[in-house]
Amino acid sequence: MPHITFVHGIGNKPASDVLHRIWLKCLADGGFDLVDQGVTSRLVYWADVLYPEADTDVAAYESLLESREEGIDASGAAEAPVPKTPEERAFLEGVRGKMTAVPAGAGEAPPPDPAAASGPQLPLERIPLPWVLKKRFLETFLRDVHHYLFDVEATPRPGTTYRVQQEIRRRFIDALNEPEIAPPHVVVSHSMGTVVAYDCLKRVGDCPRVSGLVTIGSPLGIDEVQDKLSPEWRRHDGFPSTTLETDWINIADRLDPVCGPDPSLANDFRREGRAVVADHLVTNAGMWRHSVVQYLRRDELLGELRRLLGL
C-alpha cells in the first residue's frame, strides 16, 4: 500500500492530528483524495519542540487568511535569536539579507524606491502586506531554522527540554521506520520541513530508504543553509543517493519569500555532477505564496505525487 510521510514547515501549528487532516483535505480539494486512493500517511510533527502549545485557531490554517499571523506561518510569537558566535551571526545576517533589505532592529520597512521599481526586488519587499506581519514571519523563520541547524537546546514548556535537531531527527527517522510501511514510500515536505527531510536523508547514517522526495517552498537553495549541511552536502554531489531510490521533485513559486532567493535546486544538489532534481515553478494565488494550502493543490505537485506513488 503506497505511503506518504509529511513534514510541516516553520511556525506554530494546530495539533498534529488536526494539521494532518488539513494537509489531506488540501490534497483532496486539488483532486487527489489519499484515503479513496488507498494511500496511507503520517505527519512528522515538530512544532511542540519549539512552541509551548498548539495553536487552536484552526480556521486560519485551512484558508488563505493573509492578514493573520497564522495565515503566513508566523504564529507563536517567535523572535530571531541573538547570535552567540561569529558563525551564528554570519548565518543570521546572511539569511536575513537574502530575504529582505531591512536590517535587524529596524522598525517599519522603508517605502519602495520608485526609481528601482522596474528592477529586481527582494522577496519580502515585493509582498503587499503590512511590515508587521512580514517582520513576524521573518523572525519566525530565522529562529526556527537557526535552532534546527545549530541544534539549540530549547525549553518550550517548564520541565521539557529538547536538543532541537536531535529531537526532530529522531521523530523523522521513527516515522520512516514504521513497520507497516510498504513501498512506494514518498516524503512530502514544506518549508523548513524540507531542511529536516534532506538533513536526515543525506546526513543521518541509519536513515531508512524512501522511494521519492517532494520539497515544497524550500529554503535549501540558500547558501547559508547549504553551508550548515556540509560536509555531507556538496554542490556537485549533494543528491541523497544512498537513501533516495528514485526522484526528487521540487515545487517552488518565485514570489514565495522562502524559496524566492533561489527557487531551483537542480544546480545545487547534483548527483555525481549531473543535474537530476526536477524543478517545477508554479504560480500560487494571492499575496502570500508560501502557503502549503496553495502548494498542495497545484497540478504539478499532484501529478508528480501520483507518479511517484504509482497511481
Q: Does residue 135 form part of some domain?
A: no
pLDDT of residue 68: 80
Q: Does residue 245 form part of some domain?
A: yes
Q: Does residue 99 form part of some domain?
A: no
pLDDT of residue 118: 46
pLDDT of residue 115: 46
Model confidence at 1, pLDDT cuts 50, 70, 90, reads confident
Q: Does residue 85 form part of some domain?
A: no
Asked if 218 and 265 touch (Cβ cutoff 8 Å), the reply is yes
Asked if 224 and 95 touch (Cβ cutoff 8 Å), the reply is yes
What stretches of the chain adopt beta strand conformation (E)? 3-7, 40-44, 153-157, 160-163, 185-190, 212-216, 248-252, 278-281
CATH number, domain of 266, equals 3.40.50.1820
Residue 252's closest CA among 212, 294, 223? 294
- More confidently predicted of 59 and 232: 232
pLDDT of residue 72: 87
Instruction: Provide the 8-state DSSP code for 165.
Output: H
Residue 24's closest CA among 9, 44, 4? 4
pLDDT of residue 106: 64
What is d(CA 186, CA 42) in angstroms, rounded to the nearest whole number? 11
- More confidently predicted of 182 and 131: 131
Domain holding 200, by residue range, is 3-66+158-309
State the average pLDDT for the chain.
Answer: 91
What is d(CA 43, CA 190) in angstroms, rounded to the nearest whole number? 11
Exposure string over 6-19, b if 16+ CB within 10 A, otherwise e: bbbbbbbbbbbebb
Least confident of 160-164, 202-206, 282-286: 282-286
pLDDT of residue 116: 44
What is d(CA 250, CA 116) in angstroms, rounded to the nearest whole number? 31
Q: Does residue 285 form part of some domain?
A: yes
Please name the residues in contact with 270: beta carbons below 8 A apart, sequence gap of 6 or more: 235, 236, 237, 238, 239, 276
Q: What is the mean pLDDT of residues 146-173?
A: 97
Share of the chain above pLDDT 90, in %: 78
pLDDT of 242 strictly over 70 = yes
Q: Using CB atoms within 10 A of its CB, is residue 237 exposed (0-12), middle (13-18) or buried (19+)?
A: middle
pLDDT of residue 117: 44
Total of domains in the chain: 1
Q: Does residue 225 form part of some domain?
A: yes
Q: Does residue 105 form part of some domain?
A: no
Q: Does residue 152 form part of some domain?
A: no
pLDDT of 22 strictly over 70 = yes
Assigned C-alpha cell, 47? 512544532
pLDDT of residue 121: 64
